[in-house]
Amino acid sequence: MARKILVTGGTGYIGSHTVVELQQAGYEVIIVDNLSNSNADVIEGIVRITGQRPVFEKLDCTDMPAMQALFDRHRGIDGIIHFAASKAVGESVKKPLKYYRNNIVSLINLLELMPKFDVKGIVFSSSCTVYGEPDSNPIDESAPIKPATSPYGNTKQINEEIIQDFIHSGAPIKSVILRYFNPIGAHPSAEIGELPLGVPQNLVPFITQTGIGIRKELSVFGNDYNTPDGTCIRDFINVVDLAKAHVIAIERMLENKSNESVEIFNLGTGRGLSVLELIHVFEKVTGKPLNYKIVGRREGDIEQIWANPERANKILGWKAEESIEDTMASAWKWQLRLRERGIM
Ligand code: NAD
Ligand code: WQD
C-alpha cells in the first residue's frame, strides 16, 4: 500500500513542487493549506503533471480541533512535510505576532498530534536565514546560529529548537530539518511555479515580472558590497531539485535509514552567484535585456552566503542537478504561462 504523507502548505510554491515529486515516487498525498498565500487552482496544475489528484483539505494548521479531526478522518498518515508558514521577512517585522502565532503554533499542533496518531516523522522547512551573515563561505551545518534579524527568521530558529527539544524529551518521532538557500524557478512543464501576491519581495519573481513588463524596472539593492561585482551573493537552488530532497528525506525517516532522531541538512548548490550575475543569466536565456538600476542597499540584507551541501550530497545521496540557465528559463516559461492564462 502506498505511504500517506501529509503536506502542509502543499498548494504553496515549494509545497506544490514537492507534492508532484511525492506522487511521482508513489506516495499518497494529503494537502492541508489555508490558502492564505496560494490558490486552490494549483491542484489542477499538479493533476495535469502527475495525472493524480491529491486529497486537499482547506484548513489552518493553527486550528487544533480541525487538525485533530483531519488526522481522525485520514487514519494512517505515515509522515508529514511541514511547509505551512508565513514567510515575508519585511511583513514579519511589522506584524511579529502574526508570524509567531502562525509559524510556531502550527508546528506545535503537528508535534502534539503525531504521537497520538502514530505519525513517524516530520520534515521541517527551515532556512539559511538561521546562519545570519556567515563568518565564511561556503557554510556548513555546524556553523553557529546567529541572532535572528527578523521575527520570521526567529520563528525558524525557535521551530528548530522546538523539534529538537521535543525529540530529546523522548517523543517517538523523527525529524529532518532542511535549511533551504534561495529556491527559484518552476516546474519544467510550467504547470506550477511561484505566484507571489502583490509586489514580489524576492529577486527572481521581480526579474521575470520586469522582463514581461508588469514592473517598470528592477532595483538592484546595492553594488558597494565586498564582493567581486559589488552586489550580494546567494546560492540559488532549483525548486524541483529542492522538492526531490524532501522525497529522499521522508523515505530516510520512514525506513529508519538513520540512527539519528533529528538530522539537519543544507539544501543548496554549493555555488554563489551575484545579483548581477543572475540578471545576466536571465538576459542570456531570454535574449532580452533587463531594465534595472542600482539603488541603495536594502536594510537587513546579508552580503554573501552560499551552502556547503556536502552533508546532503553524501548522506542523502542528493545533489542539485539543474543548471542556473535551465532554472532561469523555467522561471521565464512560468511567467509567460501566467500571461497566456491572463493571470498576470
Ligand atoms: P508559500 O507561501 O508559497 O507556501 C506556504 C503555504 O502555506 C501557502 O500555500 C500558505 O497558504 C500556506 N499556509 C501558511 N500558513 C498556513 C496555516 N496556518 N495553515 C495552513 N496553511 C498555511 O511559501 P514557500 O516559498 O513555498 O515556502 C514554504 C516553506 O519553506 C515555508 O515554511 C518557508 O518559510 C520555507 N522557506 C522558504 C524559502 C523561500 O525562499 N521560498 C526559503 C527558506 C525556507
Ligand atoms: C536576493 C538578493 C537582494 C529583490 C530571503 C529571505 C530568506 C529566505 C530567502 C526564507 C538580495 C537582491 C532582491 C529586488 C534586489 N527565505 N534583490 N532587488 O534576501 O536572500 O532571502 O529569501 O527563509 O529568509 O530573507 O532573497 O530574493 O529577497 O534577495 O536587488 O527587487 O537579491 O538585495 O541581495 P534573500 P531575495
For the CA of 200, the closest atom of ligand 2 is 31
Alpha carbon separation from 13 to 72, 179, 316 (Å, rounded): 27, 16, 23
**Closest-approaching ligand to the CA atom of 267:** 1
The whole-number pLDDT of residue 58 equals: 98
The whole-number pLDDT of residue 195 equals: 93
The whole-number pLDDT of residue 3 equals: 97
**pLDDT at 34 > cutoff 90:** yes
The whole-number pLDDT of residue 151 equals: 97
Measured torsion, CA atoms of residues 273, 296, 91, 308, in degrees rounded to the nearest 10: 20
d(CA 307, CA 270): 5
Residue 197: band (very low, low, confident or very high) from pLDDT cuts 50, 70, 90: confident
Q: What are the pLDDT digits (tens) for 92-108?
A: 999 999 999 999 999 99
Cα(275) to centroid(ligand 2), Å = 9
Residue 253: band (very low, low, confident or very high) from pLDDT cuts 50, 70, 90: very high
Q: Is the dihedral of CA 115, 154, 157, 15 positive or negative?
A: positive
Alpha carbon separation from 29 to 2, 8, 17, 57, 79 (Å, rounded): 10, 10, 12, 11, 10
**Residues 327 and 236: beta-carbon distance below 8 Å:** yes
Mean pLDDT over residues 274-283, rounded?
A: 98
Listed residue (79, 30, 98, 85) closest to 58, CA to CA:
30
The whole-number pLDDT of residue 1 equals: 85
The whole-number pLDDT of residue 144 equals: 96
Could you write out the three-class secondary structure of the chain? CCCEEEEECCCCHHHHHHHHHHHHCCCEEEEEECCCCCCCCHHHHHHHHHCCCCEEEECCCCCHHHHHHHHHHCCCEEEEEECCCCCCHHHHHHCHHHHHHHHHHHHHHHHHHHHHCCCCEEEEEEEHHHHCCCCCCCECCCCCCCCCCCHHHHHHHHHHHHHHHHHHCCCCCEEEEEEECEEECCCCCCCCCCCCCCCCCCHHHHHHHHHCCCCCCEEEECCCCCCCCCCCEECEEEHHHHHHHHHHHHHHHHCCCCCCCEEEEEECCCCCEEHHHHHHHHHHHHCCCCCEEEECCCCCCCCECCECCHHHHHHHCCCCCCCHHHHHHHHHHHHHHHHHCCCC
d(CA 221, CA 296): 5
> Of all protein residues, whose CA lies closest to atom 26 belonging to ligand 2?
202
Mean pLDDT over residues 83-88, rounded?
A: 98
**pLDDT at 344 > cutoff 90:** no
* Domains 4-183+236-267 and 203-234+270-337 equal at CATH topology level: no
The whole-number pLDDT of residue 331 equals: 98
> Of all protein residues, whose CA lies closest to atom 9 belonging to ligand 1?
12
Q: What are the pLDDT digits (tens) for 306-324?
A: 999 999 999 999 999 999 9
Mean pLDDT over residues 122-149, rounded?
A: 97
Confirm or reject: Cβ of 232 under 6 Å from ligand 2. Answer: yes
Per-chain mean pLDDT for the chain: 97
Residue 189: band (very low, low, confident or very high) from pLDDT cuts 50, 70, 90: very high
180 carries an active-site annotation = no
Confirm or reject CATH 3.90.25.10 for domain 203-234+270-337, answering yes or no. yes
d(CA 125, CA 284): 32
Cα(85) to centroid(ligand 1), Å = 4
The whole-number pLDDT of residue 84 equals: 99
d(CA 161, CA 4): 26
Q: Which residues contact 290 (CB under 8 A, 6 or more apart)?
A: 207, 210, 211, 218, 279, 282, 283
CATH no. for 4-183+236-267: 3.40.50.720
Mean pLDDT over residues 110-119, rounded?
A: 98
Domain boundaries, the chain: 4-183+236-267, 203-234+270-337
Site to probe by mutation for ligand 1, drawn from 6, 17, 35, 36 as the one with most ligand atoms within 8 Å of Cβ, is 36
Q: Choose the catalytic residue: 27, 99, 152, 225.
A: 152
Q: What are the pLDDT digits (tens) for 143-185?
A: 999 999 999 999 999 999 999 999 999 999 999 999 999 999 9
